[in-house]
Amino acid sequence: MSEGFRQNLLSKGVPESKIRIIPNWADPEFVQPGCRDPELRERWGRDKFLAVYSGGLTHNSNLEPVLQAAGILRDEPFQFVIIGEGVKKQKLEEMARVQQLKSVSFMPFQPLARYPKVLCAADINLVTLRRESATASVPSKIFKMMASGQPVLAIVPPESEIARLVEAARCGFVAGTDQPEQVAEMLRYASTHRDEIAQMGRRGRSYLE
């Protein structure tokens, strides 16, 4: 449960004494920094700056700004990999096809044992949520991203708990939910400041530990 969810319950009259916050977490032994798979990296683009989203493609996800950013960056050395399934997958695939986003590829969910390698293969991992969902939700996958030692780009409202977590850990960037230009600019910055984002990744791991 998140603090936002707690506040929602309080506003509905649930006694404070009956509410306990149990934060999400990740096993730092399961996801270890440096577990990059050369085969994955080769397949996705060794010479590209690789942004990876792995998760449900549901109504709560907010991947449209990512595809719009891919359009802005279409002539630059970026690759976007979207891993997952859900009710919005077909719509997102159609959006990428219509806009001829050759730098965007879709993959099904990967086996659990391969998940750490997926996170480590990315130059930056993406977490996205709709504004309506972000205020009361902190998905556990962000802690797995932090465990990987790779930086995070959170596309969420700046007042959300996810944004506050990223800022507290200093492990990445926060972009607004409807600002693809900001997403593109942050990716450009990240791609040209490799030492800085490597430090972000290390700080995320340290914060988790």
CA atoms within 13 A on the CB side of 200: 23
Query: How far is it between the farthest Cα atoms of the chain?
Result: 55
Domain ranges of the chain: 3-11+33-208
* Percent of the chain predicted with pLDDT > 90: 67
Q: What is the pLDDT of residue 15?
A: 66
Average pLDDT of the residues in 41-63: 92
Q: What is the pLDDT of residue 185?
A: 98
Q: What is the pLDDT of residue 6?
A: 45
In this prediction the pTM is 0.87
- pLDDT-derived band at 97 (thresholds 50, 70, 90) equals very high
- Among 2-6, 83-87, 95-99, 150-154, name the one with the lowest average pLDDT: 2-6
Distance in angstroms (rounded) separating the CA atoms of residues 13 and 20: 15
Q: What is the pLDDT of residue 1?
A: 47
Average pLDDT of the residues in 101-122: 95
Q: What is the pLDDT of residue 40?
A: 86
Sheet holding 124-128, edge to edge: 104-107, 78-83, 49-54, 124-128, 152-155, 172-175
Distance in angstroms (rounded) separating the CA atoms of residues 178 and 66: 10
Instruction: Answer whether residue 55 shows pLDDT above 90.
Output: yes
Summarize pLDDT for 167-200 with one digit per residue, the tens.
999 999 999 999 999 999 999 999 999 999 999 9
The reply to whether CATH 3.30.70.20 applies to domain 3-11+33-208 is no
